[in-house]
Chain A
Amino acid sequence: MRIPCPCCGPRDRREFTYYGASDYLDRPAEGADLEAWDNYLHLRDNPAGVTRDLWYHDPCQAWLEVTRNTVTHEILSAHPVSEVSA
């Protein structure tokens, strides 16, 4: 599996660390109700198909939001989290 780092180009999976679903980018606002926090912390989809998750490219120290297909293992896109959340 190779992930196209927007900074370094396509790199081997060994250079990356998996963090979790990209749901982590949508942190509930302060004062959000318990259900929102429960969803944020614990509820995850488990799709057979396209999913989005967060990967860290250790060598260049960039967090990426990677869109990939869990069925075909195809990597569809990778964007720096700094741009996604800006």
Chain B
Amino acid sequence: MSEQETQLPKEPISVYAMMSMMLEQMTELSWSKMGLRPDPITGEMAPDLGEAKAAIDLVSHLATALDGQLDEEDRKKIHSIVRDLKINYVVKSKEAHS
């Protein structure tokens, strides 16, 4: 084992920290699947509203699960993110159906 690895603090993994990371990643993916940002892997636009809906639903569930762990400012930020995603999803859905 390298010297650096032995110096890293060993703490149990936090579920809430993982959920925060997942929320960030799924938020980015939501924007990408709505066709509002390029795909993080290919760098190209690859909209898929079905996957966008799944990603947004997951972001919403994660936000609810994290609610009790956040201070007021972070709670408002995350709720604002969820609402932005939902509003944009409705816009994109209407565009797709029109």
Q: Do A and B bind each other?
A: no
B residues apposed to A, CB below 8 Å:
none
